[in-house]
Structure 1
Amino acid sequence: MDLTKVSNEKKLSLCQWYFRIGFLFLPFVWAVNAIWFFNEAFRKPAYEEQKRIKKYVIFSGIGSSIWLILIVSWVTTFQLNRARWGAFADYISFIIPVGTP
């Protein structure tokens, strides 16, 4: 979608919709929202809806960054401790590696 062909009200509505969808545990949508609307929020000449778009872009970026940190932390912790956690790690695993003590 080319944002230059969309009205400012529609841009705000779309940005707001993407932000709300991100609350359904879809941090990728927040990342897309932050990247896609970055130019609209920070590089375009000022217009009425820009202030609200900027707010959604900032919060989307923060939300996706927090999710990224949490996911990387969990994966790192799990990979480093999987063998030590024994049966519990097996219960929460989708794939159980063969040959691990």
Structure 2
Amino acid sequence: MSLNKSIKEMDLTKMKNDKKLYLCRWYFHAGFLILPFLWCVNAVWFSAEAFWKPPYEEQKQIKKYVVLSACGALIWIVALISWIVVFQTHRAEWGAAADRMSFIIPTGIP
């Protein structure tokens, strides 16, 4: 029963516009705490609210947070993929320093 109640409470269609803005802003700011997945959630969850709903007072600010969240998530994804590619292609060259960064040390390359 409490799960159904929680899901109903998080339904954006039943929230007041000022509560939507508060939640969108909270997710955006929480993303700065090295939690970029919150930016992704914010961008996806509020995109319909920001771009496809009829205009209302708080929508302009929600749109700003959605766009900034999407940009922040995209920057994190590009940075993470870049780091993974660089680390995987140069790990053997970096020697002991790369070994200290690794959880699992692959065998086969000295």
TM-score of the superposed pair, with normalisation by structure 2: 0.89
RMSD: 0.7
Unaligned segments of structure 1, at least 5 residues: none
Partners of 1:20 and 1:4 lie apart in 2 by 23
Asked if residue 100 in structure 1 is aligned to residue 99 in structure 2, the reply is no
Partners of 2:109 and 2:70 lie apart in 1 by 39
Q: 1:56 aligns with which of 31, 52, 65?
A: 65
Tell me how far 1:99 sits from its aligned partner.
3.0
Tell me how far 1:62 sits from its aligned partner.
0.2
In structure 1, give the amino acid aligned to 2:19.
Answer: K
Unaligned segments of structure 2, at least 5 residues: 1-9
In structure 1, give the amino acid aligned to 2:92.
Answer: A
* Structure 1 residue ranges, 4+ long, deviating more than 3 angstroms after superposition: none
Partners of 1:77 and 1:12 lie apart in 2 by 39
Partners of 2:36 and 2:64 lie apart in 1 by 17
Number of residue equivalences: 101
TM-score of the superposed pair, with normalisation by structure 1: 0.97
Tell me how far 1:98 sits from its aligned partner.
2.7
Partner residue in 2 for 1:80: 89
Q: How does 1:1-101 map to 2 (within 5 A)?
A: 1-101=10-110
